Amino acid sequence: MTNVIKFHLVQDFPETLVLPPLAAKKLIPDWFKKIPPTNEDDLTVKKCVPFIDAMGAGYTILSHMDIVMYQTKEKEVRLWHSDEKMKELYQRWPPIETHPNRQFPGSPMSGYTMCKYMSPWIIETAPGYSTIFLPPINRLEIPIVPLVGLVDTDTYFNNVNIPFIHTAMEPDDKKHVIPAGTPICQVIPYKREDWKAEYTWMENKPLAKQKKERVKITKDRLDWYKNNAHQKKKYV
């Protein structure tokens, strides 16, 4: 059975701005595609299946419009518009708001200006399923770093706005552009289940098995995990 995650667009949002969330696997960046599988006899990250799996997991929420923002010398974040049409869009559907620092007293986040992407999407999952909101995974080139959050999207039917830090923005009035289509956040639905940790001391028989498997992995280091351990995940 295929589970369904629904993305509902808020009612009065203009069709011209609609950029629907996409399966994250469709947004693998060019820099990754250009990496060779080996480099000076070493395997590169191009051969790391867990790295690729993480980048392609779930769905990515994209910036629905060009967002031009800057931080004043007083550390106030403001939006900048180039024409009246953009000004009207900002006023009717503000893409960015801020969280005051007093909401993060004593935390490492209190030293940053916390922005908030006003997502036009309501996410709905089946009963028993929640959604984790993550920064775009392994995308360190994107200067937008959302805070991680878990939302019970089966019972909370509302917009989930996304607090984030803009790592390149300083209080210098310099304008920063978040182009339309920029990955803002990666969302991964999951089933809520109870878990209990157990700790064991590996005995001789399973230890011997582990060592035997390690020998196989070492001999076929290029594709052992891909061919023997990897389980396919499907997000469409």
Render pLDDT for 106-147 as a digit per residue (tens, 0 to 9): 888 777 778 899 998 999 999 999 999 999 999 999 999 999
Domains of the chain: 6-196 (2.70.40.10)
Distance CA 136, CA 183 (A): 7
pLDDT band at 45 (very low <50, low <70, confident <90, very high): very high
Distance CA 1, CA 3 (A): 6
Whole-model pTM: value is 0.89
Specify the pLDDT at position 5. 97
> Is pLDDT above 80 for 89?
no
| 214 alpha carbon, distance to own chain's centre | 33
Task: Please provide the distance, in angstroms rounded to a whole number, between the alpha carbons at the two ends of the chain.
Answer: 14
Instruction: Give CA separation, 211 vs 20, 162, 218, in Å.
Output: 47, 45, 11
Specify the pLDDT at position 221. 64
| Backbone angles phi and psi of 159, in degrees to 5 | -60, 140
